[in-house]
Amino acid sequence: MLTFLMIGAHPDDMDTLAGGLAMKLIDRGHRAVFLSITNGNAGHMSMDKDALRLCRLKEMADAGAVLGLQYDTLDLDDGYLTADIPTREKLMRYIRALRPDVIITHRSCDYHPDHRACGQLVMDCSYLVGVPLFCPDAPAMRKPPVILYSEDEFTLPAPFRADVSVPCDKYIDRKVQATLRHKSQYYEWLPYDGHWTEVLESRTEEEATERLQERLLRRFAETVAHFPAGFPEGTHYGEVFQIDEYGGPMTAEIRQAMEG
């Protein structure tokens, strides 16, 4: 059994980037755990930070229940994440306690400062995870995890490269359902922030849900459209990952668990 740890900066990041993979792995008898480094307490236009934090912790648990996995957080403030030493130590203790075979996270070139810091923190842990005198209270790992990056659209310093392609057609409905459990984001903050007028103008929650489902399905279909080469003919929905050169070496067993 392999253990995969998906680390996002915010409580809804990994649902959209690796939710299909997580469900596939669990179906195949592997373990998948989501970790949101921040508690998401900045993404709203009317709730205060404390109310939003509680709301987002509940949404994480709801999404985790749909995906069938453990959804953890380091409970740090949203919008304030930095790749400093205390945060590196916190993350290192979490990684060493779980001892994952694979870590998935954001690249450190991304529009959101928390995503950049999150990718940097994982890179900073990738070698030190095996150094016993860094965080000596948490036993070092003898085998460094394979590190993979989730998809993004950014081109500098280099565009995202799809090294591993995971077909997800079978899981797409549950992936949409899990994503929409982050209600404060998908029904409120993201339409407000991104001017999603068709959602903002919905007259009922049912209508908003329909329009959000259409929007998410369109977005999730873009992955196969952008990176068709790695997918079997006829695949509509998938997720892609780039192998990071600082992590452990990719193995045939891990690739088989993801792609097969």
Applying CB under 5 A, the residues found at the interface with Zn ion are 9-10, 13
Name the residue whose CB lies closest to Zn ion. 10
Q: What is the DSSP letter of 139?
A: P
CB closer to Zn ion out of 13 and 15: 13
Cβ 150 to Zn ion shortest distance, Å: 11
**Helix 13-27, helix 252-259: angle, nearest 10:** 100
Query: Closest separation between CB of residue 216 and Zn ion, Å?
Result: 16
Give CA–CA dist 148/150, Å, rounded: 7
Nearest to 150 by CA among 34, 6, 17: 17
User: Distances in Å between the alpha carbon of 48 and those of 12, 33, 43, 144?
Assistant: 19, 28, 10, 40
Nearest distance from C-beta of residue 39 to Zn ion, angstroms: 12
Q: How far is the CB of 232 from Zn ion (least distance, A)?
A: 30
Nearest residue (CB) to Zn ion, 14 versus 66: 14
Nearer to Zn ion, 13 or 101 (CB): 13
Residue 10 or 181 with smaller CB distance to Zn ion: 10
Q: Which amino acid is at 164?
A: V
Residue pair 219/212 in contact by the 8 Å Cβ criterion = no
What are the residues facing 165 on neighbouring strands? 240
Q: Least distance in Å: CB of 118 to Zn ion?
A: 8
Q: At its nearest, how many Å lie between Zn ion and the CB of residue 243?
A: 22
Q: If 0-12 CB within 10 Å is exposed, 13-18 middle and 19+ buried, where does residue 1 land?
A: exposed
Taking the complex as a whole, the smallest distance from the CB of residue 42 to Zn ion amounts, in Å, to 10
Classify residue 253 as exposed, middle or buried by CB count within 10 Å of its CB (0-12, 13-18, 19+): exposed
Nearer to Zn ion, 4 or 189 (CB): 189
Task: Return the number of the residue (30 or 107) whose C-beta is nearest Zn ion.
Answer: 107
What Å distances lie between residue 68 and 3, 8, 60, 178, CA to CA?
Answer: 14, 17, 12, 10
Ranges of H-type helices in 28-165 = 49-67, 85-98, 113-128
Cβ nearer to Zn ion, comparing 9 with 60: 9
